[in-house]
Every structure is written in C-alpha cells, then in structure tokens.
Amino acid sequence: MRRAGPGFVLGVLCLLAGPAGAETDAAHRIVTPAELAWKPAGAAFPPGSEVAALYGDPSKPGPFALRVRAPKGYRLAPHTHPGPELVTVLSGALRIGVGGRVDPAAEQVVRTGGFSAMPPGLAHWVAVEEDVVLQIGGDGPWGIDYLDPEDDPRRARK
C-alpha cells in the first residue's frame, strides 16, 4: 500500500488557502456555494475530480469537511484511508464496492441524499455512475492508500 505523501498534503493545504474559510477555530462560519474554491483533487487522485475545502485540514489531527465533484465514469481503484471517511452524496450517484478487488456485481449505488461511512482501513473502490458532488468528512490525519501500487496515480506522474 502507498500512503498519500507530500503532494497530496500540499494539494490539500493549497485548498485551505481559498476563500471558503476552512479554519477550525471556534468561530462560527457559513460557506455559500459561491465561495467554494474548486481545485484539482491532487496527485493522489486520477485527473478529473475537484475538491473544495470547507473545514479543517485533512493532513492534521482533527475534524475536516471537503466537497468533491467528479464526472460520470470517474473511478478510484481499491484503496483504504487511515481515518474514517463519511460521505454524503449531494447530487448525482456513485457506486461503492467493499473489498480488495473491483467486482461490479458487489457495488452498491448511493444516490443524492445517500450516506456512506467507511471505518479506517476498510478496502473499497468507487465508480461514478453520474456526475456527482460529495461531501466528505472525517478525522485527520487522512489520506489515501492504494492496495496495488500500480493503481496509484502518483506513480504515473513521476
């Protein structure tokens, strides 16, 4: 397995500099859709997805919340996360499968309004069925570890 390295962390930190106000201080804040600063998800993810920081810093201890959008056909190979992953589908639909090998017959569809909770270390994969916007939350430090190093997009970018 390969854990998200400095490129992922740097990408997340760049997101946190945006106008969405992703700090975790005790101040109350509201983030409107117009304030979201969408940026490419970073080297740890296949090209095509975008992320906007809402709250916190996934590379540091503590809670965080991100918005993610990805087009129909986008896929993430089997992977795990070192912390919990809490996903709410805000629009669209995706398929989630649990285990170390992609098996379309084992996928479950999660549509608008649906929720998925993955505990730390649970191997899973994702296939976007239709353009999707997700809200992902959890506790940092957080990243992505691909089960097969050949699936890791960072490998192709070296």
Q: How far is CA 10 from the centre of its chain?
A: 15
Element (H, E) at 60: none
Task: Please name each of the domains of the chain with its CATH number.
Answer: 6-23+37-150 (2.60.120.10)
Neighbours of 44 (CB within 10 A): 24
Tokens of 5: 């390295």
CA dist., res. 77 & res. 74, Å (int):
10
pLDDT in tens, the chain (158 residues): 444 443 333 344 333 334 344 555 568 889 999 999 999 998 999 999 999 999 999 999 999 999 999 999 999 999 999 999 999 999 999 999 999 999 999 999 999 999 999 999 999 999 999 999 999 999 999 999 999 999 999 987 65
Percent composition of the chain: helix, strand, coil (DSSP 3-state, to 5): 15, 40, 45
Distances (CA, A) of 64 to 83, 100, 101, 139: 11, 26, 28, 6
Q: CB of 47 within 8 A of CB of 10?
A: no
8 within 8 A of 144, measured Cβ to Cβ: yes
- Contact in structure between 4 and 44 (CB atoms under 8 Å): yes
Give the pTM.
0.82
